[in-house]
């Protein structure tokens, strides 16, 4: 392998190189947050707790691609069933969860198939 003799580079050449490297690194460090910021928002997960025969919060708004995770904090089974049939959890036992990724915008009303008076709504923008 080719190795440069230590005397081949004058000392201010080395300093210049080091200064350039530091400047480049500093520029990258300054620009990195801008690049990261420019990216579209990461999909989020919105949590809904089922407790006392209620969905909490009852109404939520999210962006396309976001996930909703329902957690059953009651001592009985519940479910999450969209009125338009776009998602149905089946029974969610005590302490269990159900997640659904919303890939289409719209307003999705849902209810518990075991207790139809339990209602919630997910609005996807």
Q: Are 89 and 70 in contact (CB under 8 A)?
A: yes
| Extended strands (E) in 8-112 | 45-51, 54-56, 59-62, 67-72, 81-82, 97-101, 106-111
CB of 112 to Cu ion, least distance (A): 3
At closest approach, how far in Å is the CB of 93 from Cu ion?
11
The only residue of 46, 115, 119, 121 in contact with Cu ion, by rule CB under 5 A: 115
Q: DSSP secondary structure string, 86-98?
A: S-B---B-TT-EE
Binding residue count for Cu ion, defined by CB under 5 A:
5
Sign of CA dihedral 97, 103, 80, 68: positive
Q: Which range, of 2-10, 59-67, 70-78, 83-91, touches Cu ion by CB under 5 A?
A: 70-78
Q: Contacting Cu ion (CB under 5 A), which of 92, 112, 122, 124?
A: 112
Name which of residues 5 to 44 contact Cu ion (CB under 5 A).
Answer: none
Closer Cβ to Cu ion, 63 or 115, answer by number? 115
CA distance 33 to 35: 5
Of 55, 78, 89, 92, the one binding Cu ion (CB under 5 A) is 78
The Cα–Cα gap between 79 and 87 comes to 11
Interface positions with Cu ion (CB under 5 A):
78, 112, 114-115, 118
């Amino acid at each position: 392998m080719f190795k440069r003799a230590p005397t081949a580079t004058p000392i201010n050449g080395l300093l210049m190189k080091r200064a350039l490297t530091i400047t480049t690194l500093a520029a990258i460090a300054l620009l990195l947050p801008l690049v990261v910021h420019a990216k579209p928002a990461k999909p989020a997960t919105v949590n809904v707790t089922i407790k006392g025969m209620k969905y909490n919060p009852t109404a939520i708004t999210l962006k396309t691609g976001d996930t909703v995770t329902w957690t059953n904090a009651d001592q009985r089974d519940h479910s999450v069933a969209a009125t338009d049939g776009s998602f149905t959890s089946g029974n969610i036992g005590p302490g269990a969860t159900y997640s659904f990724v919303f890939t289409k915008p719209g307003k999705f009303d849902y209810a518990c198939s075991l207790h139809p008076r339990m209602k919630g709504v997910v609005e996807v923008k």
